[in-house]
Structure 1
C-alpha cells in the first residue's frame, strides 16, 4: 500500500453497485466458527510433523542481507489446514541464539511486526541493540516471513513496475469521475490477484497466520510460545491466544488492533482514518512550535496551508518528474506512524518552498529497487483483509461513509478507501466470519498490552478492547504520545515493563501509565548533515 505497512510498525532495522468476481459460491455468505473443526485437526497434524522435523538452520541467503551470527531455515506448513496432507508451502525463518549462559536461556522469542504483509526476518539483529540486550541474553530471537511474504510462497497481484508508477494524484475530496476511475482500478486489481494466485488466494488469512504460528512453535521445539506481535501482529496473536491458550507462555501485544469482530476490517479502517487526522494535527502543531527552524508558519493552520501549497505546485509540476501529490501524501503518512519522521519531513517541506526540491525527492520519489517488495506487501495486505471478513459490496455505502468522514478527516480518508476498495470486488467467496477473540480467567497466562494514547494506525480504543477480552491481561499506556509500536523504542518506562515481563513474567495488576517520550528535537539541515550517520529508519 505505502512506504510503511498499514497495520505494521515502522522499524529502524533493516461509482455504481459493485459486483463480486466470484470463483466460489457468490453472495454475502460467510464461514462461521463451525467450519474451523477440520482446520484444528490439520493444525495439530502439521504441528506434530514440524516438531519431529525441526528447523535446520544454516547461513542465510544473500537476498536476506543477514550476516552471522544470524542463521536461517524454513518450516513447512499446509497451504490449506483443512487438507494438511495437500500442498505444502515453506516459511522462511531467521534466528540468533540467546547470548547468555545456558542457565539464563528461557527459550525462543518470536516476533511479528504486523502488516499484513510485513516480515520480521531482520528481528535477530535487534539482539545487538542496547534496548534489547538483556532480553537477548535470555531468548533466541526468532523472525520469520509469514505466508505470502517475500520468499514464503510470495503473493503478487500486479506487475511491480506498475506499482511504482509516478507521479499520481491524491485528492482529499475526489470528483465523481476520479471515483469512477479508482473503482475501475480496484476491480482490475482484484482480478489480478485472482489471476496470479488462483485457488491459493483464499488461504491467505489471519486465522491461517495464527495456525502457522502454532506450527512454527512446534518446529522450534518450544512447548509453549513466547511471542511479541506489533500492530496487525497483535490481531493474529490474539487469534492464537483464543485458539491455543494452553500453548501460550508469554505474549506481548504492542499497538493493538481492535479485535471486535464488528470492526474487522471495514469499520477498523474508518476508525483509522479518523485517528490519522488527530496525529496529522499533532505534527502540524509541532512544526508550528518550531517555526524558527522550518519557517512553515507559527500556527498549525499556516503549516497546513503551506502543505497544501506544495501539493498544488506538485500537481502542476511534479518534483523530479516523479513526486506528485500522491507521492507527497505517501511520504507524509510517516509523520502519523512515528514522530522520528517529523524533523526529516518538515525539513523537506521547508526546503522545497525555499526552492530546493532535492530533500523531498529523496524522501518521496518511488524507489524501483523496492518495487517488488512493496507490491508483495500490498498484495498480502489486501488478500488477508479481504478474506478475513465480510465487506460492503455496494459502492453507495463506501461513497457515503467516506464522503461524510472526509469532512472531518480529509488527510487519510480517501487514500485509505482506495487501498481497501478491492475488498468490495473480491473474487473469493464465501468470506470468513471473524473469530470472537476472548479468553476466560485462568485459561491464558498473564499477557502484556502496550499502547500509545494517540496512536493513529491502531487507535487506543483497540488496546482497551483487547484488554477487556483477554482476561488477566495488563495494559501499559504511553500517555499523550502517538508513535506506532513502542516496545523497545525510546520510552524507558515502557521498556522497563516489557523487559520485566519477558524476563520474569510479572505484569502490573491491571494497568499502568508511562509519561510520553520526549518530542523530537528540530534540527536544521546544516546541523543534521554534520551529525554521524545512524541506523537507517524506514520513514
Structure 2
C-alpha cells in the first residue's frame, strides 16, 4: 500500500450509483486503437526537473460502457536521456491506494542508474480520482481525517463500537458527496486506465516499476494485459488473494510490526544512541506496552495534532509509521522519551486538508469497490479480541472494521485473480523485514505468479526495497533487469 507514512491513505468511504453491472472482462484488444496525439506542456509544481512534461489522457469513467462520460488521467514524463539507447517507457506505479507518481520522474526516477534512464522515458501519473486527474472528495469531518480514525484502532478496552460509528459516518459522507466517479474507482479500472496511457504514448508494450499497493496494480495489469508488458518490477509486494484484497493488507500489519519491532528495539538499546530507551533490547517492548497502556488511561494534551492528544493509539500509530523506514526510528524514540516524562514532542506537520480529503476518498473507493467486507460488528470484535491477545503491539487494529464495513454497495465486479498465465518477465524484490508488506504476504504473490516471476529477497529492514531501504545486491539485480532484461535463473537471496 503506498506507504501509509507517505500519504496516509488507507481509509474512508465512497459511492453514488446503486445498480448491478456485469463484470468487465477487459483485454488489451479493447484499447489498441490509435490514440489521439498527446499535448505535452511544462509541469506545474515546485522542485520539478525542468525536463519534466505533463499531459492528460481521456479514459471512460465506466469501462462497461466505454461510450459514456470520460474522465482525465494526468500523466508526466522525462524522456530517455539517450534516444539511441531508448527501449520504451517505464511506468512508475505509486503506492496507496491514494498515492500518485506525477513528480516521480523528477524524484525517485532520477535515482535510477544512467543506463536505465537512457533506456526509458520515465512516466508518472495520478490515478483516477486523484488530483490533478478528475478528482473525488467525500467532504469528511476534519476529525475523521486523523490516522487513528482512518485506521481502525479500537477503544482502550478493545471495543470496535466507535470504529463502526466512524465507518458509518464516513460511508454516509462519501455516498452523499463523492459523486458518480467514486463508484468506478478500483484497482482493475486503474489497470485499464494504464493501458489507455500505454496506447496514448504509442507503445506496443510498456515496462513498470510498481511499489507497495503499486505491486498489486502491476500484477493486475500483467493479468489483464499480459502481452502488453515488457519488463515489470514489483517492489514491496502485497498478498493478491482476490477474496480479501485490502483486508489482507490491513491484517498484515500485525505480522509486519512483529517482524520489524525487534530491529527498532536493538537500535533503541544501543549504548551510543542519544535517543536510547533501555539498557537492553528485551526491555524496549515492555516499556512501549506499559506506556501505551498508561496513555490509554490518561492521554497527554498534544496541541496541533489531530486529535489534539497523545493517547495509546496515537503512540501506536507513531510506532507503525516510524517502522516504515529505520531513518524514522528517532521520531518514535523521541515521542516515547517525551511521553515518559509527561510531555509531548511537536505535533507532526500534516498535509493540507484538501490533499487528505482527496487521498481519503480515493482510498475508500478502491478498498470498498475492490472486494466486499463483512458488515457485522461481532465479526470484527472477535477478530480484534484474538489479535489483541496474540499481537499486543498493534492492539487489534489490523482486524478492525474500516469504512467498507458500512459500505452500502456491492463491488461491480469480482477482484482480479492473479495467475501464472503470461510471459515470464516479472521480477519481485522484497525486504525481509517490511512492516507494511511483510515477506509472508509477498511470498503469496510470488506463488500466484508461478513461472512468470523470479523473486529477490533482500536482507534489509523497512518498506520499499529498490533504491530505498534495500541493499546494494538487490539494487544491482533490479537495475540489471531493467537495463538488460537479465534476471536471476531462480529465486535468490541478497545478504
User: What band does the TM-score fall into relative to the shorter chain?
Assistant: 0.7 to 0.9
Match of 1:95 in 2: 77
Residue segments in structure 1 that go unaligned for 5+ positions in a row: 9-19, 516-539
Describe the SS at the equivalent of 2:428.
strand
Q: 1:503 aligns with which of 469, 478, 483?
A: 483
Query: 1:273-321: CA deviations, max 9, x gaps?
Result: 2322332233123212347532311234532354456544594332336
Distance in structure 2 (CA, Å) of the matches to 1:406 and 1:177: 8
Q: 1:331 aligns with which of 318, 326, 336?
A: 318
User: Is 1:274 equivalent to 2:255 in the alignment?
Assistant: yes
Distance in structure 2 (CA, Å) of the matches to 1:195 and 1:400: 31
Paired residues of 2:383 and 2:396 also in contact (CA < 8 A):
no
Paired residues of 1:131 and 1:495 also in contact (CA < 8 A):
no
Written as runs of structure 1 = structure 2, the 5 A alignment for 1:8-407 is: 24=18, 35-37=23-25, 39-40=26-27, 44-46=29-31, 48=33, 51-62=34-45, 66-100=48-82, 102-126=83-107, 129-159=110-140, 161-164=142-145, 174=155, 179-290=160-271, 292-308=273-289, 311=292, 312=294, 315-320=298-303, 322=305, 323-325=309-311, 326-350=313-337, 353=340, 357=344, 360-361=345-346, 364-367=347-350, 369-407=351-389
Paired residues of 1:163 and 1:371 also in contact (CA < 8 A):
no
Query: 1:350-369: CA deviations, max 9, x gaps?
Result: 35656874xx31xx4352x4
Aligned length: 482
Distance in structure 2 (CA, Å) of the matches to 1:262 and 1:164: 27
Distance in structure 1 (CA, Å) of the matches to 2:147 and 2:446: 42
Q: 2:443 aligns with which of 460, 464, 470?
A: 464
Distance in structure 1 (CA, Å) of the matches to 2:428 and 2:257: 21
- After TM superposition, the score normalised by the length of structure 2 is 0.87
Query: 1:402-421: CA deviations, max 9, x gaps?
Result: 21012122333544455x52
- After TM superposition, the score normalised by the length of structure 1 is 0.81
Distance in structure 1 (CA, Å) of the matches to 2:43 and 2:315: 36
Residue segments in structure 2 that go unaligned for 5+ positions in a row: none
Deviation of the 1:372 alpha carbon: 2.1
Distance in structure 1 (CA, Å) of the matches to 2:250 and 2:343: 36
Deviation of the 1:184 alpha carbon: 1.2
Deviation of the 1:141 alpha carbon: 1.1
Distance in structure 2 (CA, Å) of the matches to 1:399 and 1:145: 36
Distance in structure 2 (CA, Å) of the matches to 1:236 and 1:88: 21
Distance in structure 2 (CA, Å) of the matches to 1:67 and 1:160: 36
Cα gap change, 1:125/1:320 in structure 2, threshold over 3 Å: closer, same or farther? same
Greater mean alpha carbon deviation, residues 501-510 or residues 489-498 = 489-498
Query: 1:137-189: CA deviations, max 9, x gaps?
Result: 22111111101112222222234734456998999763579532221111010
Deviation of the 1:236 alpha carbon: 1.7
